[in-house]
Each structure stands twice: as structure tokens, then as C-alpha cells.
Structure 1
Amino acid sequence: MKQLIIVTGLSGSGKSIALHALEDSGYYCVDNLPATMLPQIAEHLQSENNRQDDSNTTNYDRVAISIDSRSVAIETLPAHIEQLKSQGITTQVLFLESNVETLVKRFSETRRKHPLSKDTTTLAESIAVERELLGDLGKLGHVIDTSYISANKLRAWIKDAVAHESSGLTLLFTSFGFKHGIPLDADFVFDIRCLPNPHYDLKLRDLTGLDAEVQTFLEGQANAQDMLNDIKNYIEKWLPSFISDNRSYLTVAIGCTGGQHRSVYFVEQLTKYFAPNQKVLTRHRELK
């Protein structure tokens, strides 16, 4: 096995969708594996891959495993991951997160029972227990907030995330609208709502920050360019510190009111600036 992706996170946050997206991308997938069995299954798949002949078409070079809060000894997962890395297996963690309101809505719509629910606890309380149980697992890898995104967008984000090499730091820029909530996976949040809003220009209202007309409008705003340069300088100054800290991802969220114009423009400009020298991912949460 050359590459292992571990999918974990809160129940209802989209782990099954993520695993299916990885399967579509050519990964051999194992669902709901106990954390204590991770070293054994990794060793088994690696040995199977080493002895496969031409008649065996299954490729175990790229494997994705889903582990959730029901797993036995979930707290041992970090140690098992370090063990796999020491064996030369490239291991990446995708942690799916979502806010309480969205999770409650999803469980209510599907009429599914939360895996940690009891007769004496509400759905919201079960979600809180699970969040505490998973603790700091999100720090092991890349956190994805699925609160306000569709299943199709999550599939696209997963495929983008695994398309990048897992070694080194990936700088992720995401645009969002404050009226839809702050992304839970953001390391830095920059509020640019104080800048002139193209929404109030009827010719620009139905466009986005991807359109040349909106870009021209914001390029003509001196304060918008000043703030953009300040954000560039801040990230450029502190990026080496995060790289030296062995971080896999650094997520920078840029927010305006609706997530359509200003934040999209800023993210595109930041991507263009940093991409020549750094691995960069771009997301626009509110754009369809």
C-alpha cells in the first residue's frame, strides 16, 4: 500500500458520500473499521498487493478507510496513524464536520437514529457527546465543514483534496457569506464586508467575483486593493511558521455578506498570487 486515507468525523456530516467519492477516484474502500484493526488491515492489504498476480485486478496501492465514533478504542487512532507512517505508508486524514443545526436537520429528514443516542438523551445532546468523543482528531489532517454544501459539492471537494500530494502544506482559500455562517474548518477568517459591495450595482448584482465586470469594479476600489495586499502580506509572513509546524492544510476563509462577489474575487486573487510557489486549493462555498 502506497497511500491510505482515513475518513472520520461526526455522524451525518457526509462520511459515506466522501467514501463513495474516493471509491469513484480509484480507491479501495473499507467502511466502518474499528480503530484497533487499522494496523492489521493495512498490513493485510499491503501483503495482498505484494503477492497479487496478473489475474488479480484489485489494486491496494490506494486505500480509503472510514472510522467513526462507534469504533472500539477510537482514542488510539493517532498512535496507529503514526505507526503506519513509520512503516512508510503515506497516511492522510479527512475529518468531516458540521454544525448542530444542520446535523439535526439531516437526521430528522432521513429519520435515522444517531449512533450514540440513548433513551435519556436528545439528538442534540448525542451530537455534543460525539463531538467531545472525537476530540482533537480533526487536528490530524484536513477538516471539511459540510454544513452548507450539497452532496455534489462535497464529492468535488473530496476529489480536489486527494488530488494534491499529501506531503507538505496545502494552502486552501475559501470564500463564504457571513449570512450563511462562518466555516467551521477555517484557520483564519478575514471579514471584508466593509468594502464597497457590487451587489448594489444593478449591472453587477447577478454576476459573481469570477466575472470580469466585478473584478474591474473591485480593482478600482483603493481600499479593496489595500486590504487584499494586507491579507497577502499577513499570509506570506506567517506561512513559513505553519510549514515548519508540519501542518498538512492551512485554511483561509474570506467572507463578505452573501459570498458571491467580494469574497470570491479575493480568493481568486490570493490563489493567483500564491499558486506559483505553493500548493493551493480554491473553494467557493456559496457558488453553485
Structure 2
Amino acid sequence: MKLVIISGLSGSGKTVALHTLEDLGYYCIDNLHVGLLGAFGRHITDTGMTEEVRYAVGIDARNRPEDLARFAQILQELEAQQIHSRILFLTADDDTLLKRFKETRRKHPLSGPERTLAEAIARERELLAPILARADLTVDTTATNVHQLRELVRERMQLGKRSLSLLIQSFGYKHGVPTDADFVFDARCLPNPHWEPALRPLTGRDAAVEQYLQNQGEAVAYLEQMQGFLDQWIPAFERENRSYLTIAVGCTGGQHRSVWLAEQMHRHFRGQREGVTLRHRELT
């Protein structure tokens, strides 16, 4: 990994992500003008960049629209300099961003007397669309706190050159489907431990729930078919040089069935490859 570019919506956690990479030993620059990326690439190449030196830059919407529109061309210029970049894009839903700005009383960089906060967020999404389109990894921080985001960045950005980072995530449909998932599996068709009084307060990580689901033929068949599908198709993504893949498994509340399936898949893939991360979105 030569260069990490961090971008995304204001209030989504870009500063947290950049500081996390700094703690990991990256040389970080925040709010770099996108038009200077090429010059920055030439500088680090001319100074004898080695494999041990890692760089990260933050780019936000405080750029000229015409420069942001040239983002794909700028990336090509970096590649021509033998600088291989990975792009991390952070986002969140509008309601969450509005709440964060109101709670912190921060001013959105694009808001002003003639533009409301909601309009500023919408304009920012529009301006950053060229970067989002080229993102290697998109992280939705709507349901992620600061500590979880730091851990996620640490786990997913420490990769070898040809490693694929696989995130397996459970979630509850009643809290919304993760927007950053590459594959989404719906486990609501499976027998629900919630309706067993003794199992209701437990989670899919508890032995009693695990035993209950392992005794359900439908649940075992679902798991085996899901694993078989992913065993077949994950290598195809690796052949296309994908660096990140997110597998999301959902049930109604994100407590029993999806957690059990995610745990089983994490165990399965961890035995095959490095860079496998497990996250239970609804469990704290």
C-alpha cells in the first residue's frame, strides 16, 4: 500500500480515520487540495519512497468542483508515477449527519446564509460523487461510534499488497440495511430463537442459541449454501484485484440468527485466509 486517500461527508468520521492511520505509522496530511495530489506523488517518489513508508491524505469537498470532477484523471497520473492508491470513503445517512452537526454545534464547510445544513449535505454528496465512484472501501458510519470506527480502520487498512480484506457483519433489518455491503443475506426465513423464552435474552454467540440453530436443518442448509456460494465467488473478486469485500447477514433484530451465521462464517473463512474481520452491528 503506497497511498491511502480518505474522503467522505463532513461529520462521517474522516478526521478519526486519518488520526487512526497516523497512529499506525502513516505520514498524514489533512485537507490536501485534490489538484496537488499529482505534485505530492512526484515529491514522495523523488524523495525515495520505500515499502516501509506509508502515506495518507484527507480530501474533502472544500475543493473547486472542476478539480473534484478530474479525480479519475488525477488517479491515473498517480498510477503513471507507480504510486498505487487505495481510497477509503466515509458516509452516513442525512438524519445522522444533521444530528451530529447539531449536537457538536459545528458549522458545515458548505453551509452559509443562503444554504441550509440539509442543502449543504446534499451539495457535498454531489461534489464528492467522483471520489465515491472510485472508492475501494466505503464505510457507512451511521450506526458506528468513534471507537468502533477506529477499530474498523485499524483492521481493514493493515493489508499486504495482494490481500483481500473480508468483513463479515451481522445486522438487524429493523435498524436498516448496511449501505456499504457487497453481499446481503436475509436470515429472517430461519427459525427464530427469539420465540424461545429461555433464548430470548441471549445472542447468537451463546452456546444455547448455537445449539438451537445447529439443530434446525433449515439453518444448517442455509449456512452451507451461503458458504459454498462465497467460496466460489470470493476468488473471482480477488482476480479482479478487489481489496475489500463486505458480507452482511441480517435478521429481524440482529441478535440471534444473523449473529450465529456471521460467527460461523467468520470461523470458516478465518481458517482459509488472512484479513477476515467480524462485526456485530447491533451488539455492543
> Which amino acid is the alignment partner of residue 54 of structure 2?
R
Tell me the SS of whatever aligns to 1:253.
Answer: strand
Moved over 6 A (4+): none
Match of 1:186 in 2: 181
TM-score, normalised relative to structure 2: 0.89
> Which amino acid is the alignment partner of residue 61 of structure 2?
S
Question: How do 1:1-288 and structure 2 match up within 5 A?
Answer: 3-48=2-47, 61-72=53-64, 73-138=67-132, 139-279=134-274, 280-288=276-284
Q: Is the 8 A contact 2:12 2:141 kept in 1?
A: yes
- Displacement of 1:263: 1.1
Q: Is the 8 A contact 2:42 2:81 kept in 1?
A: no
Q: Is the 8 A contact 1:170 1:278 kept in 2?
A: no
How large is the Cα RMSD of the aligned pairs? 2.3
* 107-116 or 232-241, which deviates more: 232-241
- Displacement of 1:271: 2.0
* 216-225 or 242-251, which deviates more: 242-251
Alignment partners' CA distance in 2, 1:234 and 1:221: 20
* 121-130 or 220-229, which deviates more: 121-130
- Displacement of 1:186: 0.9
CA 1:18 to 1:230, structure 2 compared with 1: closer, same or farther past 3 Å?
same
Q: Is the 8 A contact 2:155 2:277 kept in 1?
A: yes
* 69-78 or 182-191, which deviates more: 69-78
CA 1:129 to 1:223, structure 2 compared with 1: closer, same or farther past 3 Å?
same
Tell me the SS of whatever aligns to 1:124.
Answer: helix
Alignment partners' CA distance in 2, 1:134 and 1:93: 12
Alignment partners' CA distance in 2, 1:87 and 1:165: 20
Tell me the SS of whatever aligns to 2:18.
Answer: helix
Alignment partners' CA distance in 1, 2:205 and 2:83: 39
Aligned residue-pair number = 280
* 277-286 or 157-166, which deviates more: 277-286
> Which amino acid is the alignment partner of residue 30 of structure 1?
I
Tell me the SS of whatever aligns to 1:71.
Answer: coil
Tell me the SS of whatever aligns to 1:158.
Answer: helix
Alignment partners' CA distance in 1, 2:88 and 2:192: 35
Tell me the SS of whatever aligns to 1:224.
Answer: helix
* 111-120 or 98-107, which deviates more: 111-120
Provide the identity percentage. 46
Alignment partners' CA distance in 1, 2:264 and 2:127: 39
Alignment partners' CA distance in 2, 1:60 and 1:38: 20
1:121-149 deviation per Cα after TM superposition (whole angstroms, max 9, x unaligned) = 33222212211221142343101110011
Match of 1:55 in 2: none
Alignment partners' CA distance in 2, 1:70 and 1:60: 31
Alignment partners' CA distance in 1, 2:126 and 2:273: 34
Query: Is there any run of 5+ residues in structure 2 with no aligned partner, and where?
Result: none
Q: Is the 8 A contact 1:5 1:94 kept in 2?
A: yes
- Displacement of 1:31: 0.4
Query: Is there any run of 5+ residues in structure 1 with no aligned partner, and where?
Result: 52-58
CA 1:186 to 1:234, structure 2 compared with 1: closer, same or farther past 3 Å?
same
Tell me the SS of whatever aligns to 1:135.
Answer: helix
1:170-218 deviation per Cα after TM superposition (whole angstroms, max 9, x unaligned) = 3321111112111110122111122222233343333322222221111
Alignment partners' CA distance in 1, 2:42 and 2:106: 34
Tell me the SS of whatever aligns to 2:203.
Answer: coil
> Which amino acid is the alignment partner of residue 9 of structure 1?
G
